[in-house]
Homo-oligomer: A and B are copies of this chain.
């Protein structure tokens, strides 16, 4: 494929940034890719594994001359990073981010963006439970959604160009309004993560059920929760702090519904339970039909 940007700067070098680097280089989508991470250890690791054409000692150095800057830091660090790089941004450049929350990032980053620089927030629905510069791989974005959340008045060409980059690394793209994005993600991602963290925490607390039993017999359902609950703690702390309202709203609905099912168990209302479990089965069929998962039976382990 042909080059889409001359110089791309990756700020933050975790799972998403490293995957972006490998995908961009594989497909020759950028001339040079620079990288910066706050931690010296991360920068050292990046140099060691050949991550980025050039690892810089400051965010400012990394963004100098870049026509695309991708902020890959936790949502809570966006404000500080944007403030830092703002004076070094080149006119006509595009700044994007890959944060899981969009309204908070727009509020944090938007005000720092100088006149003549395009800010196009985005969010890849892709990830694994691993984190750090060694966890990336070029195929991460293939067939996954990359949401674009342009703010009003953004230059159309800048959005189109960024969209073509996300498509070139294999993603499907769609444009969405920020508040709607945050609500949809509260349902499909943020609340499920919080629930998984909670269930794993409960299991950890129960002294009568020893750790080794919980672990040995985890294949019966719990295992999937532990994978979700192994995700990066800093990233997820920031997600909940920055998508507070939508998460609390969905949590409220969840609790209400859980209490209804709990009551059905207590009162032994088998019909209510059966109807409920039949209805949820249909959603699964929708996901398989939409190509977001396969119908292959998953029997409690990854085939390697």
- The residues of B that contact A227 with a CB separation of less than 8 Å are 224, 284, 293, 298
Interface residues of A in 201-258 (CB under 8 A from B): 201-206, 208-209, 211-231, 233-234, 236-238, 240-241, 244, 247-248, 250-251, 253-255, 257-258
Stretch from A4-12, A46-54, A84-92, A272-280 at the B interface: A272-280
Shortest beta-carbon distance from A290 to chain B in Å: 5
Q: Are A299 and B208 in contact (CB under 8 A)?
A: no
A154 touches B (CB below 8 Å): no
Stretch from A23-31, A55-63, A111-119, A139-147 at the B interface: A139-147
A195 touches B (CB below 8 Å): yes
- The residues of B that contact A147 with a CB separation of less than 8 Å are 217
Q: Are A237 and B281 in contact (CB under 8 A)?
A: no
A152 touches B (CB below 8 Å): no
Q: CA separation between A292 and B220, bound complex, in Å?
A: 10
Shortest beta-carbon distance from A96 to chain B in Å: 19
A-side interface residues, number (CB < 8 Å) = 108
Stretch from A32-40, A64-72, A160-168, A263-271 at the B interface: A263-271
Q: CA separation between A219 and B296, bound complex, in Å?
A: 16
Q: CA separation between A166 and B70, bound complex, in Å?
A: 54
Q: Are A187 and B214 in contact (CB under 8 A)?
A: yes
Residue from the set A197, A208, A220, A297 with the largest chain B CB neighbour count within 10 Å: A220
Quick one: which of B185, B215, B233, B283 contacts A220, CB cutoff 8 A?
B185
Shortest beta-carbon distance from A229 to chain B in Å: 4
Shortest beta-carbon distance from A148 to chain B in Å: 14
Q: Are A274 and B220 in contact (CB under 8 A)?
A: no
Given contacts A187-B206, A261-B197, is CB(A266)–CB(B244) below 8 Å?
yes
Q: CA separation between A64 and B221, bound complex, in Å?
A: 36
Q: Are A234 and B183 in contact (CB under 8 A)?
A: no
A129 touches B (CB below 8 Å): yes
Which 7 pairs from chain A and chain B are nearest by CB?
A128-B297, A189-B220, A230-B284, A233-B277, A192-B221, A200-B280, A229-B280
Q: Can you report 5 residue pairs joining A to B where beta carbons are below 8 Å apart?
A: A147-B217, A187-B206, A190-B221, A227-B298, A233-B273
